[in-house]
Structure 1
């Protein structure tokens, strides 16, 4: 037997085994049906309250219709019962009145008294009215059997009234006539009339009882229907409020999650804002340091070069003034160019690092800055400054000086002002700077556009120091800029030492 090494035996994985012919993946619902089912579930979840309210309204309206129809049937059945009871009472009254007619005839036969004749006529008239009312009632209800029986009763009553009227015309002349008048009617005629009246009364009583039973049944059916509809409405409202509770709970959870996310975003924005403020202050500090270093280099290196060059050119010009006048003139022109370069160097140094601020303080620097701007632009200046300079910290002084410098530059470019007012207020906690002009005033749309007139830089400088920057239209015209900053902040010693 040959030995086969393990490496030569192929490894068969499950996915390498082909499926049997009768094996097939489980059937899945078509995607269209699944999408429709998903849309239906979503629609039911979203509009289930509307469906429940619609069904509740339909059920309520249906219940009202059922109640109204039941009330109308019950009222109709009660009317039938009342009419039947009234007919029964009229039939009883008719039987009594017919008996009264017979009694009046016999009394008149015994004693020819006109009172019997008058009472007979009244009773006969009442019998006619009763017969007319009963005839109208039976014709209205359309009961042919009862109407035929009533016709016989009416004919018998009419015969009785007619015969009685004849008998009560003249009293009996002799004893035989009186005996004939007092004789009882035939037994068959009276029994037939009483039986017909009794039958009609029984029929009307049954009709009234049947109507009352039907009304009670309708009342029970109406009560059951209303109870079922109310129970269904209660179930629907329970489902509706349950669905609303689920939706409100879900909405509350979503709102809570949104509030949590909003708080996290607010914290993130606050942290990023603080970082940006720190970065902005760091960049401004670096910029001020670079300006300071550059100003020092310009003053020390370029200044010494320009001064030495001026001295050398002046010395050479002095030597060549008499012997080479043309060359001396060129050297004089070079001296003028060197003077312009030295002046330009001084102006650049003052713009980058004002020496008056470093040497004398913020009050003198603001006064010098405003006076120079007024001299260049033809303004009149009004000052409201402290009487003497004070040390407020290099960072605060630089920030306020740059704000004043940018404000006066913007006023010169855009305001077309004639008068400027500069005010500085210093107390134990805060230092406030206010600059107002009487120019055309900043436009309302520019108040919202913080990217104009260098407002972004001024806001960043002030906010980085924990201050407040405000700009608004002055009254009656012009622009007012006010800055308020705390005098001291822990950790602030020299500009550029604040690390983001």
Structure 2
């Protein structure tokens, strides 16, 4: 480990070099925190992200006392404390000493405080007026840090806040590029494959009219039917790549997708739909997959969608009264995309379950936190 005798300028330079090279958020934060602890009197630290609704999330930590690290950092993950409350109220503007820490006190009620950590300092992470969370640091047998140490903490927090903003902007640019690529692919599919399938449909229809031979006529009818099915699939794919109506809300987007598939949808909503973009897109994609399953496998053209929005979660049920299936047959039904739905939900901390029985329909149950 480095000696903790770096000058402030050297330390800030090393941290700047590290965080400017990193493109992964968690690795950047972990590396910056480790550098800070190696080059100062601070011995342990942790970083919270706090969203607009005040919900906190422990992102990284370094060299935690055993009492705080126990049970997957339970005392840091749950409950409230002075620093987070002050942050939420907009009262925490600079690096500050904490007189008491409820989290540390709760941790020490059940475990011996062998490391001597009782107090910590805290500083908000922000870039301009945009705030992201808190950086907390502590040292054994220390109840107060001096002004120079707090000033250094503020300088490091400023660097980290700027790096957070840079990485977020980079991700936004990547998202824009992804949307542009989806739009390009959708245009190409529409202009080439979609038009080609439409031409095949017209040719098959003409073939039916041009022959009196039953076998030939049936063959053309089969070609016409299969091509029409392929057209429906292609239009659905194009719509998934470049959904129309989603900009006016997820409900209108789902209605539009249902129309593309030829499904009659009954949609009921409880609560106000004001979801983060990532959650809304994930919910939309999962529901699309569920509707695809109904169109392909259920044998019915009707579905019911129930959405409930609470202060912490969005709950969704997609129900049909189709043929259903045996749960033991899941491995032989890879095309129904249930694993894809689970993966999408898991990526943002949500869950997907389903209830089904042969000839009694299927229910897809989705819960996504936000």
Fold match (TM-score > 0.5): no
Higher helix share: 1
Higher relative contact order (CA 8 A, sep 6+): 1
TM-score using structure 2 length? 0.37
Bigger radius of gyration among the two: 1
